[in-house]
Amino acid sequence: MAIASQEVSPARFSAQLRSHALQTGIMDLILDRGLDVGDALPTESELSAELGVGRNTVRESLKVLQALGVIEIRHGFGMFVAPNNFSALVSGLTFRGRLSLRHKGEEAMELIDVRQALESGLIGLAIDLLTDEHVADLRATMEAMEDAAKKGEPLHEHDAEFHRRLYAPLNNELLINLMDVFWQVYRKIHLAIGTGPVNLEQQTQDHWDIFEAVANKDKALASERLQRHFDGIRLKLKEVAAA
Amino acid sequence: MAIASQEVSPARFSAQLRSHALQTGIMDLILDRGLDVGDALPTESELSAELGVGRNTVRESLKVLQALGVIEIRHGFGMFVAPNNFSALVSGLTFRGRLSLRHKGEEAMELIDVRQALESGLIGLAIDLLTDEHVADLRATMEAMEDAAKKGEPLHEHDAEFHRRLYAPLNNELLINLMDVFWQVYRKIHLAIGTGPVNLEQQTQDHWDIFEAVANKDKALASERLQRHFDGIRLKLKEVAAA
DNA sequence: ATCTAGACATTGGACGTCCCATCTCCTGTA
DNA sequence: TACAGGAGATGGGACGTCCAATGTCTAGAT
């Protein structure tokens, strides 16, 4: 399974296409050999030989695949087919947000909007599938958050957990990961634009309100309260953009 | 929670950290210098010198940033801050789907589910913001699709356009891009599992039905019809997985 | 017999150098 | 004025060399 286009007329294909072909070549190799998550890939040298390109070149593609969450690279050990994760997306999107903060913060606002749209748009579907067990899990998370708030500890871990469990009924790991990405980007933007003194009690209460609406299966109210959840940062973003 | 804290041995972390630090280093450099979309980055050699790493090493990071849509690399000309695009995500996600098709197609199903959840979950918000102009645009797209169907031409371009315009009222480029990613992944999965003879008229009619519900601002009906939209491929996926 | 420390092979990480491919821009000619 | 072609700059790629991290295996001590 070689990059067939190389033998014929390399010049006809743009460099970008060749680079992309190498990446898909490696992915095809994984699929052709029936490698599964956790299985080891050939070594860099072997790949270099089999694909007929230099080791540096294959390394560039491997780094890209690593960034895309396709493979996992372990120094001194080998390379393996990775379980999916979107972590790479976070840095790219955060960069976008920071970049846009310099003019009008439009993209940062869009990032917030995406998270808001995802959360308030999908909560209805989640409520449809909500079981008592899910509600119990949510309550447990909220109690942990309340404990932390009383001790003056930071809430972000509990916050993340709450939002993850909110959409657990959808039973879709991929979607949870995706929403987690936007949670993280949200948080980074929040940190970047600087926050005033955080009111732990208020923050906890906001989440209790959301929990209550969800537990009562009131889709409209839950959706509205989730929207509210983002009003604060939107205001601050506008201030920063105006300045 | 697949994203954040996977169990990681300390040394592997450091290796990852250096690579990641280089990437963020380049992004910081862009931000520090006030570079904007379209502006040129320093040359590879300059970056190599300024960041104190070898050119090959910096190239690996640059390729990653290119894959993440942060920069655009033009052979023989230079590197530039890129407008955001998620196109890189597509290949990674498609790989996931193809990989999962070999056992139970779970991830492929999740990918479909994500698109379905996004579309049917967000249509309500879109309808809230729908204007007559948006409806007119949608109708125009549908008429173009119908024309193509009558000529026996492939519909996928019109299909993509229809779904893009469906969420245009949300006025969020980022979200449109994101949904476009899942549209493309959906299509690739569709092609990968093989489709029976496509019924152009039926396909067009399905879209007309969705259009009608949206134009009438019937959120529930629109959401339901969007859900239906995916029933076919889900069935086929289950067949493939069972085989 | 068991445990541990250290040697060892394997593998990825980083770098330098050389040459090729491609682009833009400028110059010269018709 | 317009077009063709060259010059220079920049990214693309290939080796070769050495460094660093990791897991394994073995020898020695207990």
Report which residue type is found at B208: W
For residue B179, being part of any structural domain is answered with yes
Q: In chain B, which residue's Cα lies nearest the Cα of A176?
A: B1
The CA-CA-CA angle for residues A198, A200, A99, to 5°, reads 40
Contacts of A84 in chain B (CB under 8 A): 2, 96, 107
Report CA(A40)–C1'(D22) in Å, whole number.
15
User: For residue A41, with 0-12 CB atoms within 10 Å meaning exposed, 13-18 middle and 19 or more buried, which class applies?
Assistant: buried
Q: Report CA torsion sign: B214, B216, B217, B222.
A: negative
CA closest to C1' of C15 belongs to B54
The Cα A172–Cα B222 span in angstroms is 22
User: At B182, is the pLDDT very low, low, confident or very high (cuts 50, 70, 90)?
Assistant: very high
**Boundary residue ending a domain (B36, B61, B81):** B81
- Dihedral-angle region of residue B6 (phi above 0 means left; psi in -120 to 50 means alpha; beta otherwise): beta
Partnered with residue B81 across adjacent β-strands are B71
The pLDDT of residue B10 is 37
Following DSSP, what letter does each residue of B100-113 receive, concatenated? HHTTT-HHHHHHHH
Across the interface, whether the CB atoms of B31 and A176 are under 8 A apart is answered: no
Between B90 and B31, the higher pLDDT residue: B31
Residue A133 and residue A208 share a domain: yes
The Cα B91–Cα A174 span in angstroms is 15
User: At B121, is the pLDDT very low, low, confident or very high (cuts 50, 70, 90)?
Assistant: confident
Q: What is the pLDDT along chain A (243 residues), one digit of tens a residue?
A: 333 333 323 333 466 678 888 999 999 999 999 999 999 999 999 999 999 999 999 999 999 999 999 999 999 999 999 987 777 778 888 898 888 888 778 889 989 988 998 898 899 999 999 999 999 999 999 999 999 999 999 999 999 999 999 999 999 998 999 999 999 999 998 888 877 677 899 999 999 999 999 999 999 999 999 999 998 888 888 888 776
Contacts of A124 in chain B (CB under 8 A): 121, 124
Domain harbouring A26, CATH code = 1.10.10.10
Range of the domain at A72: 5-81
* Average pLDDT of the residues in B57-81: 93
Q: Which nucleotide's C1' sits nearest to the alpha carbon of B66?
A: D11
Q: Report CA torsion sign: B199, B205, B208, B209.
A: negative
Alpha helices in chain A (DSSP H): 5-8, 15-32, 44-51, 55-67, 87-101, 106-128, 132-150, 156-166, 173-192, 200-215, 219-228, 231-242
Q: Give Cβ neighbours of residue B234 (< 8 Å, ≥ 6 apart).
A: B109, B112
Of A103, A122, A173, the CB nearest to B117: A122
Across the interface, whether the CB atoms of A67 and B69 are under 8 A apart is answered: no
Residue B234 and residue B169 share a domain: yes
Residue B45 and residue B135 share a domain: no
**Boundary residue ending a domain (B29, B60, B81):** B81
Of A64, A91, A122, the CB nearest to B24: A91
For residue B215, being part of any structural domain is answered with yes
For residue B169, being part of any structural domain is answered with yes
Chain-centroid distance of CA A195 in Å reads 22
Across the interface, whether the CB atoms of A34 and B67 are under 8 A apart is answered: no
Residue A174 and residue A93 share a domain: yes
Residue B53 and residue B103 share a domain: no
Report CA(A76)–C1'(D29) in Å, whole number.
30
User: At B58, is the pLDDT very low, low, confident or very high (cuts 50, 70, 90)?
Assistant: very high
Residue B216 and residue B114 share a domain: yes
Of B4, B68, B91, the CB nearest to A24: B91
Residue B168 and residue B101 share a domain: yes
Question: Is the pLDDT score of B164 beyond 90?
Answer: yes
Residue A189 and residue A218 share a domain: yes
For residue B158, being part of any structural domain is answered with yes
Of A15, A81, A177, the CB nearest to B3: A177
For residue B4, being part of any structural domain is answered with no
For residue B166, being part of any structural domain is answered with yes
The pLDDT of residue B94 is 87
Q: Give Cβ neighbours of residue A11 (< 8 Å, ≥ 6 apart).
A: none
Across the interface, whether the CB atoms of A27 and B110 are under 8 A apart is answered: no
Report CA(B74)–C1'(C26) in Å, whole number.
21
For residue B203, being part of any structural domain is answered with yes
Residue A93 and residue A66 share a domain: no
The pLDDT of residue A8 is 29
Report CA(B75)–C1'(C26) in Å, whole number.
20
User: At B233, is the pLDDT very low, low, confident or very high (cuts 50, 70, 90)?
Assistant: confident
The pLDDT of residue B46 is 94
Helix (H, G, I), strand (E, B) or coil at B48: helix
Domain harbouring A176, CATH code = 1.20.120.530
Contacts of B67 in chain A (CB under 8 A): 64, 67-68
Residue A46 and residue A113 share a domain: no
Contacts of A83 in chain B (CB under 8 A): 2
**Boundary residue ending a domain (A46, A81, A116):** A81
Q: How many CB atoms lie within 10 A of CB A118?
A: 23
Which bases of strand D sit closer than 7 A to a protein CB?
8-16, 20-23
Domain count of the fold of chain B? 2
Residue A187 and residue A137 share a domain: yes
For residue B193, being part of any structural domain is answered with yes
User: At B15, is the pLDDT very low, low, confident or very high (cuts 50, 70, 90)?
Assistant: low
Residue A113 and residue A63 share a domain: no
Contacts of A173 in chain B (CB under 8 A): 2, 110
